[in-house]
Amino acid sequence: MRKYILIFAHILCFSVSSFAQKIRFAPQWIPQAQFAGYYVAKALGYYEDLGLDVEIIHHKATVSNLELLECGQFDIIGVNLSDAVMAYTQGLDIVNILQTSQRASLLIIANKPLVNGLKTLEGAKIARWKSGQYAVAGSILEIEGINATWIDFMAGTNLFLSGAVDATIAMSYNELISMRSTGRIIEDNQIFRFSDSKYNIVDDGVYVLRQFAQNNKDVVERFRKATIQGWLYARQNIDQTVEIVMNVLNENNLSSNKYHQKKMLIEILRMGIAPNDDKPTFELKVKDFEIINLLLSQKDKSKDSIKYEDFVF
């Protein structure tokens, strides 16, 4: 009897695998611990268990995955809220199906103490990513009435560390860790944390085209469920998760080190819980959405504000 049950189970698995829904998921950046929850969900078979055949595609950093979503190259993407809202306002009809970040990881790191907060950056040369991600930082400084020269660059920390700029945009889970890993002393008073200001614009969320969401409600829900399971597992099993991340890096022939990825994972998990919560909710909070909405409407008063109900699926 037991033998028959095993054979039946194998047939069932084969069937599920054969008819699993193919999903092309594109995080917004190259492989790293920032996307650990997705890697865990895939590696531990959470997607497969729910009938999804998820392919995690890391596209070139020089091209925005929002553009590739629009062209239909990806089904689901990961992107930060500000870039998603900007794209939305520019006509890309996307919806938020999951929110993994509950805090702003965006920083401005200066080469001297920010004794007067952001005002210290008046007239400074500030580096920012050419890809346009986190362009919202520029908007914030503009709103604050600070005149800075923006220097676009590709990636990394060399530009700032070389002394060619006075300050740089950075992420708390990546560049800050990298800079400190070089032996350079970056004091806390050199860092402006958006999460500690009124501009706490939360980061990563998962987005799909509205049409896709409407046509594949069940797929969206299964993807959402498996991804949450992946993130929750990562939170409980940090060392194992780091190993999974390192495997992904190796598969993609990318160089990094375990130290950096572990620190990144810990910071990403810290950002996954809202300041007043004790556990991750994986939902975009209305007040967090309103901050970015308000910010964009202040920048361009001609545009109508976006409705939360329209933006979140």
Partner 1 sequence: MLIKFRSFSTKLSISIIAVTGLLFLISFFIYFSFTKNTIETEVFEKSRNQLKNVTHSIDAILASVEHSIETSKFFVEQNIDNEALFKDVLSNILTTNPNVYGCTIAFEPGYYKGNNYYMLYALRNQEDPNQITINRLGGKSYDYPYMDWYLIPMLLDEGYWSEPYNDDGAADVLMSSYTQILRDENGEKIGVIVGDVWLDRFSKIVIANKPYENSYAFMLSRNGYYLVHRESDRILNETFFTATDDMTDPQVLKIGYDMINLKRGDYTFFNDDTLAYVFFEPIPRIGWSVATVSQESDVMASFNLMNSIIWFIVIGGLALIFVFVWFTIKRIAAPLKVFSRSASVIAKGDFNAPLPEIRSHDEMLELKNAFSGMQNSLKNYIEELRTTTSARERIESELAIANQIQMGMLPKVFPPFPNCSQIDLYALLKPAKEVGGDLYDFFVKGDKLFFTVGDASGKGVPASLLMAVTSSLFRSVTAHIEEPDKILQNLNDAIAESNDANMFITLFVAVLDLNSGILNYSNGGHNPPVIMTTKGETKFLSTKPNLALGVFSGFNFVAEQTKLNVGDSIFMYSDGLTEAENSDKELFSDSRLIDTLAQVQDISNPKEVIDTVENEVARFVDGNEQSDDLTMLIVNFKKIKQDE
Minimal CA–CA distance to 35: which of 215, 244, 279, 277?
Answer: 244
Identify the CA nearest to 231 among candidates 176, 189, 273, 196.
Answer: 273
Question: Measured on CA atoms in the order 193, 182, 121, 106, is the torsion positive or negative?
Answer: negative
Contact between 247 and partner 1 per CB under 8 A: no
Q: Which is nearer to partner 1, 165 or 202 (CB)?
A: 165
> Residue 181 interacts with partner 1 (CB under 8 A)?
yes
Residue type, 104: A
Choose the stretch contacting partner 1; rule: CB under 8 A; options: 22-30, 98-106, 150-158, 220-228: 150-158
Tell me which of 256, 285, 297, 308 binds partner 1, using CB under 8 A.
256
Decide if residue 67 touches partner 1 (CB under 8 A): no
Any bridge partners for residue 125, and if so which? 149
Stretch that binds partner 1, among 138-146, 195-203, 257-265, 280-288 (CB under 8 A): 257-265
Please state the closest distance from residue 283 (CB atom) to partner 1, in A. Answer: 35
Contacting range for partner 1; rule: CB under 8 A; set: 78-86, 87-95, 152-160, 305-313: 152-160
* Cβ burial, residue 150 (10 Å; 0-12/13-18/19+): middle
Q: What is the dihedral of CA 26, 30, 33, 36, to 10 degrees?
A: 20
Cα–Cα distance measured from residue 286 to residue 34, given in angstroms and rounded to the nearest whole number? 24
189, 257, 281, 298: residue in contact with partner 1 (rule CB under 8 A): 257
List contacts with partner 1 (CB under 8 A).
60, 62, 125, 130, 151-154, 156-159, 161-165, 181-184, 255-257, 259-260
